[in-house]
């Protein structure tokens, strides 16, 4: 159920009427808190507020949107959790942008194991971004890209822990995705980082990284450099599929 505010859902039909009968007031379909979050977001966008600017105080928000302070506080709690505002007593709420950090926090949350479905979906996504994208990749890749990728790959050879190795592995794949020159795709890839790291770690030991992974990467780069579509697709696909071998649950 789409109980969240992730879907704008215009729904301009003014069927029900606001109880407060304030002229020009929006009709609320969702909860008061979710409505308020939308209002505050609008306040930020339409007011052109930037990082460092202040939001109105809780009391002012209560008055402006005709709502209780607890509702305001729950809305602010959402924005705080999103990493969009930072609140301190007396000084109030100032706008920040720590969303990327928050995205990573979500999965360092050890309380919940990442589900197998999420793993499967993410690997499918990667397959699209790294295998099926070969057309764009071949189109845009430069000699500098290849050189940098080789550079990153070399770091496998003198790495100590599996965690460090998985970081390098991720850097390699991120750099590859970056070749496409598409910021939206790159951002999405970065958001998936925590899960991708878990996949990489689960599948490999340090030895594996410095031998198998290293040579697979090399083969992938060779195919990329030669614009050998069949080879690239085959190598990259089996490279990604390797992440699944160590799944049992």
Site for a second copy in 63-92 (CB under 8 A): 70, 73-74, 77-78, 80-84, 86-87
Q: Please identify which residue in the block is written with the tokens 């070399």.
A: 154
Pick from 61, 62, 67, 133 the residue near a second copy by CB under 8 A.
133
Helices 69-82 and 58-65: angle between axes, nearest 10 degrees:
110
φ and ψ at residue 222, rounded to 5 degrees = -60, -45
- Among 208, 96, 223, which Cα is nearest to 156's? 208
CB of 103 to a second copy, least distance (A): 4
Q: Helix or strand or coil: residue 94?
A: strand
Task: Candidates 13-21, 108-116, 146-154, 210-218: pick the segment binding a second copy (CB under 8 A).
Answer: 108-116
- Cβ contacts of 190 within 8 Å, gap of 6 or more: 100, 174
Q: Does residue 117 bind a second copy (CB under 8 A)? A: yes
CB of 232 to DNA, least distance (A): 41
> Looking only at residues 92 through 131 of this chain, which bind DNA when binding is defined by CB under 7 A?
92-93
3-state helix, strand, coil in the chain (%, to 5): 65, 5, 35
| Cβ neighbours, 10 Å, residue 25 | 13
Question: Between residues 1 and 143, which has the closer beta carbon with respect to DNA?
Answer: 1
Pick from 31, 136, 182, 208 the residue near DNA by CB under 7 A.
31
Q: Does residue 69 bind DNA (CB under 7 A)? A: yes
Please choose which of a second copy, DNA, none residue 91 contacts, taking the beta carbon within 5 to 8 angstroms, the exact cut-off set by kind: DNA
| Cβ neighbours, 10 Å, residue 144 | 9
Q: Does residue 149 bind a second copy (CB under 8 A)? A: no
CB of 215 to a second copy, least distance (A): 26
> Looking only at residues 70 through 89 of this chain, which bind DNA when binding is defined by CB under 7 A?
70-71, 73-74, 76, 87-89
Q: Helix or strand or coil: residue 153?
A: helix
Measure the CA–CA gap between 145 and 80, rounded to whole angstroms: 38
Q: Does residue 57 bind DNA (CB under 7 A)? A: yes
Pattern 204-223, binding to a second copy, x per CB under 8 A? Answer: --------------------
Please choose which of DNA, a second copy, none residue 210 contacts, taking the beta carbon within 5 to 8 angstroms, the exact cut-off set by kind: none
- Among 152, 169, 241, 172, which Cα is nearest to 206's? 169
């Amino acid at each position: 159920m789409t109980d969240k505010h992730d879907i704008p859902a215009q729904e301009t039909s003014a069927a029900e009427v606001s109880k407060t009968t304030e002229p020009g007031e929006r009709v609320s379909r969702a909860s008061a808190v979710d409505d308020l979050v939308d209002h505050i977001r609008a306040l930020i966008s339409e007011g052109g507020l930037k990082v460092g600017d202040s939001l109105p105080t809780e009391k002012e928000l209560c008055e402006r949107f005709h709502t209780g302070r607890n509702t305001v506080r729950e809305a602010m709690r959402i924005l705080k959790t999103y990493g969009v505002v930072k609140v301190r007593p007396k000084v109030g709420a100032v706008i920040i942008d720590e969303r990327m950090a928050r995205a990573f926090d979500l999965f360092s949350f050890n309380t919940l194991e990442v589900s197998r479905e999420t793993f499967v979906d993410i690997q499918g996504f990667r397959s699209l971004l790294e295998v099926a994208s070969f057309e764009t990749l071949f189109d845009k890749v430069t000699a500098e890209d290849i050189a940098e990728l080789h550079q990153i790959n070399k770091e496998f050879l003198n790495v100590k822990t599996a965690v460090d190795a998985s970081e390098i592995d991720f850097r390699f794949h991120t750099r590859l995705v970056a070749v496409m020159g598409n910021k939206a795709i790159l951002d999405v890839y970065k958001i998936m980082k925590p899960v991708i790291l878990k996949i990489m770690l689960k599948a490999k030991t340090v030895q594996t990284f410095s031998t198998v992974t290293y040579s697979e990467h090399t083969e992938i780069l060779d195919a990329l450099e030669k614009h050998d579509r069949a080879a690239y697709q085959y190598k990259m696909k089996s490279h990604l599929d390797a992440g699944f071998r160590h799944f049992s649950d």
